[in-house]
Homo-oligomer: A and B are copies of this chain.
């Protein structure tokens, strides 16, 4: 059994992600954390992101071939904006069955719900193209 040690890098990554309201990609997070730890390596970032996902401290969002990360581990819904491509949290019912689990001869344990549309910000700056 492998113990887990404290590391300045992992702490900084988690802290940075928790301080954000968006859901950055690995590269976005990398650039951000490098302001604190300039010689942080990409390998370390990825190793830690994977570890944090496995230990359930963060969540990985996969949509359209992109990977985004979220420090909020409570089940909640997301919006992926068609225009700016960013992810946003949506008001999510507390009721687990807000999404009706279909009858299925197997086990449905959890779900991921992502809406597509236009985010508040992009809707305001309504640029018709």
Contacts and interface: CB of A to CB of B under 8 A. Distances in A.
B98 A118 contact: no
Contact of A113 (B62, B66, B99): B99
Contacts of A111: 113-116
A82 interface: yes
Contact of A106 (B64, B98, B106, B119): B119
Interface stretch (A2-10, A13-21, A30-38, A89-97): A89-97
Interface residues of A, number: 40
A104 B120 CA distance: 8
A29 to B, nearest CB: 16
A117 B112 contact: no
